[in-house]
Structure 1
Amino acid sequence: MMSSRLLRKPALALAAAGLVASGCTASGGAAEPLSGAPSPSGTAGLEPYYAQKLSWRACGVPDFECATLRAPLDYAKPDAGDVKLAVSRVRATGPGKRLGSLLVNPGGPGGSAVGYLQGYAGIGYPAPVRARYDMVAVDPRGVARSEPVVCLTGPQMDTYTRVDATPDDARESAALAASFRTFASGCEQRAGKVLSHVSTVEAARDMDILRAVLGDERLTYVGASYGTFLGATYAELFPKRTGRLVLDGAMDPSLPAESLNRDQTAGFETAFRAFAADCVKTADCPLGTTSPQAAAVRMRAFFGELDRKPVPTDEGRELSESLATTGVIAAMYDEAAWPQLREALTRAMGGEGSGLLALADSYYEREPDGTYSNLMYANAAVNCLDLPPAFAGPGEAEKAVPSFEKASPVFGRGLAWSALNCTYWPTPATGRPHRITAEGAPPLLVVGTTRDPATPYKWARSLAAQLSSGVLLTYDGDGHTAYGRGSDCIDTAINTYLLEGTPPTEGKRCS
């Protein structure tokens, strides 16, 4: 089943440009603001971390260097041990004066920032930006190369992803709850000490250590999807150390988990209706050629057919309703995937589900050999620390189904039940929903896409309004996030902000 509250920019998975995390309170409190020096004052016990020197080495990708950053496992007890964080960079190419380091994060939580940098951002960001900045990434604690959270084996994860997420009776709802318990138990057994220390607040504090070690007085940052919450959290903790922050595909830290999940459900419905409107214009649309509304009815009916009888694939695995739903949702992140989705739906409705299965596998980062990245494990670990669970148990999830189905007739039932995933988590949440104002920070650029499936546009409006210096830039279009996805208007506005420090006029819209 699709894990609830996954927000990410799936450039690596789908050749495109994650769920939601919420605000937390800082363990040990925010550090004192800087006074012109790149190392902090008033951070008792953290001096060795801020004074460390990175040992850069070649890391197998031309032009990129790698290093290991040490951070305290527990900021409240900085002498209690370290976590080791993977860092990578590619140097500014010139010409022009170097502006410092530009840290990037693709979201998730659980997306590998190092993989994103080496596979896309470090070579694909606009040339004028790469010319003036060292492009840098750090995998957050618990993610990818940074002491990754591990929960299940490959075969166990295969079982988990196909569990029925639209239970029809008490037996099926009990089986779904049991799958979440098994997942949580696996994380508790395999993740060790790091499981209770992968919150967004801790990751933001790690970024401040990296900023200081790199020699930058202020943090310059582009965060996509969940990365916007990470960036906003940094600005909340360290407003005087905050520089030019681009928060693209923004989330709203003031909302509780149930509201975030329901809003995202509505976002996927909006994206699906855009896909359906495009699909019905083609003669080969597998959902019919009459109307988007009729296409939505056919989509929901097909999910129901798969619930009763999965279809085979050439992978030797069956395409279940849960996997098919995940495959469709995966294609909602980028309109460039719509032709692939049409073909996959045509094949699946004809009795062969390999196309939708491939989309689902890309979403879960499942390799051909049956292994998985730690994306989904880290995603749950971070989310379940950052916010109290959406529901206390299956009964509450069932009561919420009608409101989720109102938000999305196509996806609502499954996404309501999937929001049960943090209910059985072994470590209590350390964060709570709250508004982030980041008083004292310079202008912060918030970017929202009007038909974004994973981070609904109203979240960008809300975050920009919360931030004392927030500036909203709107992309009137489809897909998840806006920077680097084909709009010269968006890219020019963001490039100007990063290179000159000048944000666009408030209310600027691009298409």
Structure 2
Amino acid sequence: MKRALVVLATAVVAGAGLAGPVSASPALGWGPCPEDAAVECASLTVPVDWDRPTAGTIEVRVARKRATGDRIGTLFFLPGGPGGSGVGAVLTRAPLSAEIAARFDVVGIDPRGTNRSSPVVCDADLADLPAGVPDTGARLVDVAASARRLGRDCRARTGPLLDHVDSAAVARDLDALRAALGERQVSVYGISYGTLAGQMYAELFPRRVRAMVLDSVFDHSLSTRDFLTSEARAAEETFGQFVAWCDREPSCALHGRDVRRVYTDLYAEAVRGELHVPGDPAAPIGPMDLIGIAVGHQYGPAWNQLAGLLAAMAGGTAPVALQAAEVVEFPMAVFCADHDFRFSSQRDWADAWREVQRDAPTVGGHFAWSAASACASWPARTGNPQHRTDVDGGPAILLMNSRYDPATPLEWARGVERQIDRSVLLTYDGWGHNVHARGSA
């Protein structure tokens, strides 16, 4: 895995002569971050609507950790999510390797509509959208009504920004940040959903890119059905890796049992409304809750914990840690702003669910289903609908992806590699989400 680290460092460090001069901009007002004086924080003022720059502004928060060695230039860190914090990543950990941090000022951004950058804010109760699936008799009309009700509340609390939180707008914020820093070109590292903002930056401002690495790649070209079924295949394939591990690993809490049967029995209970947190009948576990547990534990992956949770649910002998934190921010609005999902009818919605289940016969689906279902009726502008990434010029782009990634499947990275002429895909032949963190550990 050190190979990934070496390639990443080479991609961003090569061509050092391309970086422009640094000119600290007084407009940014850099100062010590309250959380850590060794890191600088600042706010960048940008238009709410880049097409109407006089119609109001917001503040985008950024954090900078200075290069520790022979400086080349600035590197933007684009977090995943949506809802990840680039500011938080720079403040709380080293998001990139020491070799890269030595040569670059690493600047993390909280994308507009999230965290410290004018987050989309909604009523906590309404934000707990029903995770409807046709198996339980759920109706698309009810899911749509809930999404519209939530969207209206978010608009009342957030204002016009709700229509302008897409990744293309984030890319324009990035270029304003580049200009404020006095850099002719910048290097970019995007992770997970941040790879979409990276692609939009390369598409809109290819000659402002000095080097770019996209880790765990998001494919923005997919239709509603292709998005859902590819996520379902990823869920099924990564769960299959968990099953194989459990079969060969005596420490697995389900070792010696038919793991797929255990899970499918639990799923059937969830559909019937009979599955709940062991010892707490008042805390039901629905089908999408169970799917979220199965898929979410593939990120690390955290197979020991997943086996323990499934064994606890199957035997009712131990508590299951399911946290339902009160929701006040709603970063999924960003996802809706980037996707024009459509379901024409209840039948179309149910047919899509059957396709998802066909591709995930054990797991039953992917938590992306809930997001797509809600976004199909989201009452806000889709500012950056799906399209093939079209990059005209700029440097070659390094793409990285795990072979078994539960969130951004390898087939997505391969698709983006085909879309961007000057791109190279490095595949980590292993498990989990995020390649660079494994190589720099």
Range into which the TM-score falls when normalised by the shorter chain:
0.7 to 0.9
Letter in 2 for 1:341: L
Letter in 2 for 1:327: I
**In the alignment, is residue 396 of structure 1 matched against residue 348 of structure 2?**
yes
**In the alignment, is residue 407 of structure 1 matched against residue 359 of structure 2?**
yes
Q: Distance in 2 between matches of 1:309 and 1:254?
A: 39
- Structure 1 pair 474/314, CA: closer, same or farther in 2 (3 Å)? same
Q: Distance in 1 between matches of 2:256 and 2:403?
A: 25
For residue 108 of structure 1, give the secondary structure of its aligned residue in structure 2. Answer: coil
Q: Distance in 1 between matches of 2:144 and 2:261?
A: 28
Compute the displacement of 1:170 (Å). 4.7
For residue 484 of structure 1, give the secondary structure of its aligned residue in structure 2. Answer: helix
**In the alignment, is residue 75 of structure 1 matched against residue 41 of structure 2?**
no
**In the alignment, is residue 127 of structure 1 matched against residue 79 of structure 2?**
no
Q: Distance in 2 between matches of 1:317 and 1:192?
A: 37
Which of 61, 64, 80 is the aligned partner of 1:107? 80
Match of 2:290 in 1: 324
Q: Distance in 1 between matches of 2:348 and 2:98?
A: 50
**In the alignment, is residue 235 of structure 1 matched against residue 202 of structure 2?**
yes
- Structure 1 pair 398/221, CA: closer, same or farther in 2 (3 Å)? same
Paired residues in the alignment total: 419
Compute the displacement of 1:227 (Å). 1.1
Match of 2:12 in 1: none
Which of 268, 283, 305 is the aligned partner of 2:269? 305
Q: Deviations over 1:362-415 (max 9, x none)?
A: xxxx3xxxx3363xx222x12222221142343321011221112111344565
Match of 1:65 in 2: 40
Match of 2:107 in 1: 136
Q: Distance in 1 between matches of 2:424 and 2:95?
A: 25
Which of 90, 97, 121 is the aligned partner of 1:150? 121
Matches within 5 A, 1:170-185: 170=137, 175-185=142-152
Q: Distance in 2 between matches of 1:305 and 1:36?
A: 58
Which of 372, 376, 381 is the aligned partner of 2:327? 372
Structure 2 stretches of 5 or more lacking a match? 1-17
**In the alignment, is residue 54 of structure 1 matched against residue 21 of structure 2?**
no
Contact 1:475 1:482 (8 Å CA) reproduced:
yes
Letter in 2 for 1:93: T
Contact 2:47 2:55 (8 Å CA) reproduced:
yes
Compute the displacement of 1:462 (Å). 1.7
Contact 1:165 1:414 (8 Å CA) reproduced:
no
Q: Distance in 2 between matches of 1:192 and 1:353?
A: 45
Letter in 1 for 2:78: N
TM-score by length of 1: 0.75
Compute the displacement of 1:181 (Å). 3.5
Q: Distance in 1 between matches of 2:141 and 2:163?
A: 27
Q: Deviations over 1:79-129 (max 9, x none)?
A: 1111111111111122xx211111112211221111122223xx2532121
Match of 1:4 in 2: none
**In the alignment, is residue 341 of structure 1 matched against residue 306 of structure 2?**
yes
Letter in 2 for 1:234: Y
Moved more, 167-176 or 241-250: 167-176
Letter in 2 for 1:445: L
For residue 243 of structure 2, give the secondary structure of its aligned residue in structure 1. Answer: helix
Contact 1:319 1:357 (8 Å CA) reproduced:
no
Moved more, 180-189 or 219-228: 180-189
Q: Distance in 1 between matches of 2:152 and 2:194?
A: 27
- Structure 1 pair 457/84, CA: closer, same or farther in 2 (3 Å)? same
- Structure 1 pair 320/243, CA: closer, same or farther in 2 (3 Å)? same
For residue 374 of structure 2, give the secondary structure of its aligned residue in structure 1. Answer: coil
Q: Percent identity?
A: 34
- Structure 1 pair 315/190, CA: closer, same or farther in 2 (3 Å)? farther
Letter in 2 for 1:338: W
Compute the displacement of 1:473 (Å). 1.1
For residue 427 of structure 2, give the secondary structure of its aligned residue in structure 1. Answer: strand
Contact 2:401 2:428 (8 Å CA) reproduced:
yes
Letter in 1 for 2:421: S
Moved more, 307-316 or 190-199: 307-316
Compute the displacement of 1:263 (Å). 0.7
Compute the displacement of 1:169 (Å). 5.7
Q: Distance in 2 between matches of 1:312 and 1:268?
A: 23
Match of 2:3 in 1: none
Letter in 2 for 1:102: L
TM-score by length of 2: 0.87
Q: Deviations over 1:228-250 (max 9, x none)?
A: 11111101101111111100111
Structure 1 stretches of 5 or more lacking a match? 1-34, 40-49, 492-511
Which of 269, 286, 289 is the aligned partner of 2:256? 289
